[in-house]
Every structure is written in C-alpha cells, then in structure tokens.
Amino acid sequence: MALRAQADCLACHGDATMTDSAGHSTAVDGQKFSSSIHGSLQCTNCHADIKAYPHPDKIAPVDCTTCHADQAAQLKGSVHADTKEHPCTSCHGNAHEIFPKTDARSAVYPLNVPKTCGQCHGNNGMAGKHGLPSVYPNYIDSIHGFALSKEGLLVAANCQSCHGSHGILSHTNPQSPTYKSNIPKTCGTCHAKIEADYEQGVHGKAVAGGNLNAPVCSDCHTAHAILQPTESAFRMQSTPICGNCHKDKFSTYRDTFHSQLGSLGGYVETARCWDCHGAHDVRPASDPASPVNKANLVTTCGRCHAGANLSFVQYQPHANAHDRKLSPGLYYVRLFMNLLLASVLTFFMIHTILWLIRSRYSQVKSKSANGGKNA
C-alpha cells in the first residue's frame, strides 16, 4: 500500500499510545502537526525512505539539512556541532510540533529561549556534566531575565541575542560575539549610546587598541547575572572589580570615609569609583571632559556634597597617610596620633598591671579587718 497523504499515516500514527518495537512513541498529534510550520508538508517529505506499508526494517533518521542547509552549515562550525548530542529537536522541540520563532508556542520564541537553553545550561543539565557554568539561574535573576520573564519584553536580551543561534562560537574564538573585544559591539546592538560613550573612554580605547586586559561591559556588569546598576547589590559588589586592576587606588580608597561607609551596606549612595570617574567613558584626570578634572571637581563633588567649594575639593579621595611626599600634612597627623595612642596605652598598661599585682599582694598579706576588701 503506497502512502500519499498525512491521513494515510495518521490512520495508524494518530493513536497516541502507538510505540515501535523498542517502546519509543511513534504517535503524532495530527492537529498540532497540521497547524505547525511544517503542517503543509507530507510525512514522506521528511521520512523519505518510508514509501509504503509495511515499512522497511531499517529507517534512516530524518535529515533536516535537506531543506535547512544554511542553518546546518552554521551549526557545523559551532559549539553544538555534534548532531548526536545536539539534534535540531533539542532546541526546536518535538519535530511534529515546530512553530515559527515569532509564535509564542515555539521553543525558540524570545520569551521561551532562556528556558529552552536552560534545559542544558542550568543546574541539572549538560552544563554540570561538561563543566560549563550554570548560567540559567544567573540569567533569569538578572535585569535582562526580569525584563523577559516578568515584563515579557520581546526586546530584552535573551541567550541568542548575544550568543547567536545556530552558529554559536566559544568566547575564546575571535569570531564570537562574546569574544572579549567584540563584547562592546554586541551589547551596543541594544545599548548604542553607552557603546559610543565607552569607545571614548580609556577602557574602550585600550580594548580597541588590542589591550585585552582593559575591561569590557561584562567585566563590570558580569555576563549573565547583570544587575540594575543603581541597585544596592551592584553598588556593593563593583568597587572591588575596579580594584582588581587599580590596586593602589582601591587600597587608598578603602582608607577613606567613602569606603568605610559604603562597605557596610544599606547606604548605597556613598561615592564608588564610577560616581566620580564616570562609568563608561572613564577619562584621565587631565582630560577636560573628565569629571575628576580640576575644573570639574566642584560640580562632581557637589553632586553629593551640597555647598562644595574650591577648598572642599582639595580633599584627596585617594590620600595615603603613609606617603610623606604625597600627603605630608596627613602623614604627620597620622604619625602623631599613632605615637599618642601607643605611648598612652603602653604607659598605662604597665602602670595598671603593676598596680594590680601590688594591690593583690597587699590585700592578701594584710588580711585587713574588712575581709581583705581594702588592701
């Protein structure tokens, strides 16, 4: 019997309980299939080696590349090249129920992408097996994840906005959109103005000049767990990130009230690096456009300190009390205070210990009338 129409196949495969000899389901939901993107195709278009009933003993797997050659070519060079581990259906879902990516029922509809990728790149998926970071929980709690899952924003960045879809490359591959020097451009696809600002700053120029030690977006914002930058958690975590490279500046910052205050939490308004230096277009202090340029200090400090004047901005946010040449006044003040502290405490410590010993000695020795209370 030759098979021509879907109806012929569905006569048997429409039975939802149908399985093959190995026990795998061979059932097809005819209604869903006909509404799917492939609904107008005949079964034999894909199952090309099945021409009649009874079927041949050995049936070749369906080859999507017959039609989708472009995608197949991209996939071939990607991290998902192994089609046994990553068949098309691992992302697109049930082969008989594939919908266009603009359809909310599609597994690759923007709002469904994170969940689809998360099947493997989550805590319990392939990520663990292959030693890859579990990125799904980070993403879903990020500002992008919230925009997508809470607000249903179709424009919110999902996995494939940054990583691509069929041709996903490792971040170590210079062609990858997540390769370090490509990240500003990748984020700039949506954050165009910030990318433009970034390119004007020392970090952007350094990266463009081939210095991959300079930070790109993800060094400060992280890749997946991106927080709203005004959020307290972000303000708390980010100063040490700048300190990874700017060690001396971070160390002197930590001696100041800004840092003491800021590191306690609950009061996030205190000045962090970028509040004074700018965030994306960080410029050298010699640049007139830098907020820490001498000419701009009154304005910059005045953003928090109402009434800041020229004398006020002489304050050194990175003073080093141990550097006599850089901050002589502060150096001697600290030296005096340290000596005062040490001498007073040392003298009285000795005085008190000797006193204690002597009083106890007299007390025990005299056994005075009031039960030895007053020696």
Partner 1 sequence: MPDTEPAEPKTEATAAAPVSGPGRYFVRFTREQRYMHAVLFTTFLGLAATGLPMRFSESFWARKFAAGVGGFGAILFFHKLCAIVLTIAFLIHVKEVFQRGLLRREKGIFWGSTSMVGNWKDVKDLLGHMRWFLGLGPKPQFERYAYWEKFDYWAVFWGMIVIGFSGYAMWFAPFFAHFLPGWALNAVLVIHSDEGLLAILFIFSIHFVNTHLRPDSFPMDMVIFTGVESEDEFKHKRPLEYKRMLAEGKAESRLGIAPPLWLLNFSKVVGSIAIFIGLTLLVLTLTAYFH
Interface with partner 1, residue 23, by CB under 8 A: no
Smallest separation, CB 232 to partner 1 (Å): 9
Give the whole-angstrom CA distance, residue 305 versus residue 313. 10
Q: Which is nearer to partner 1, 237 or 256 (CB)?
A: 256
Which residue in the set 4, 123, 338, 365 belongs to the binding site for partner 1 (CB under 8 A)? 338
Which 158-197 positions form the footprint of partner 1 (CB under 8 A)?
A: none
Interface with partner 1, residue 344, by CB under 8 A: yes
Q: Which is nearer to partner 1, 53 or 361 (CB)?
A: 361
The backbone torsions φ and ψ at residue 220, rounded to the nearest 5 degrees and listed phi first, read -95, -40
Which residue in the set 18, 26, 170, 348 belongs to the binding site for partner 1 (CB under 8 A)? 348
Residue type for 250, please? F
Name the segment binding partner 1 (CB under 8 A); options: 63-71, 137-145, 156-164, 310-318.
Answer: 310-318
Interface with partner 1, residue 230, by CB under 8 A: no
Q: Which is nearer to partner 1, 174 or 265 (CB)?
A: 265
The backbone torsions φ and ψ at residue 277, rounded to the nearest 5 degrees and listed phi first, read -90, -10
Q: Which is nearer to partner 1, 53 or 355 (CB)?
A: 355
Q: Which is nearer to partner 1, 131 or 266 (CB)?
A: 266
What's the 3-state SS for the chain?
A: CECCCHHHHHHHHCCCCCECCCCCECCCCHHHHHHCCCCCCCHHHHCCCCCECCCCCCCCCCCHHHCCHHHHHHHHCCCCCCCCCCCHHHHHCCHHHCCCCCCCCCCCCCCCHHHHHHCCCCCCCHHHHCCCCCCHHHHHCCHHHHHHHCCCCCCCCCHHHHHCCCCCCCCCCCCCCCCHHHHHHHHHCCCHHHHHHHHHCHHHHHHHCCCCCCCCHHHHHCCCCCCCCCCHHHHHHHHHHHHHHCHHHHHHHCCCHHHHHHCCCCCCCCCCHHHHHCCCCCCCCCCCCCCCCHHHHHHHHHCCCCCCCCCHHHCCCCCCCCCCCCCHHHHHHHHHHHHHHHHHHHHHHHHHHHHHHHHHHHHHHHCCCCCCCCC
Interface with partner 1, residue 53, by CB under 8 A: no
Site map 290..309 versus partner 1, x via CB under 8 A: ---------------xxxxx
Name the segment binding partner 1 (CB under 8 A); options: 66-74, 109-117, 194-202, 342-350.
Answer: 342-350
Token pair for 127: 């990520």
Q: Which is nearer to partner 1, 124 or 338 (CB)?
A: 338
Q: Which is nearer to partner 1, 131 or 371 (CB)?
A: 371
Interface with partner 1, residue 104, by CB under 8 A: no
Number of residues that bind partner 1 (CB under 8 A): 54
Which 233-292 positions form the footprint of partner 1 (CB under 8 A)?
A: 254, 256-257, 259-267, 270
Q: Which is nearer to partner 1, 264 or 285 (CB)?
A: 264
Name the segment binding partner 1 (CB under 8 A); options: 18-26, 67-75, 140-148, 346-354.
Answer: 346-354
Smallest separation, CB 78 to partner 1 (Å): 44
What does the binding site for partner 1 look like in residue numbers (CB under 8 A)? 254, 256-257, 259-267, 270, 305-309, 311-316, 319, 321, 327, 329-330, 333-334, 337-338, 340-341, 344-345, 348-349, 351-352, 354-360, 362-363, 370, 373-375
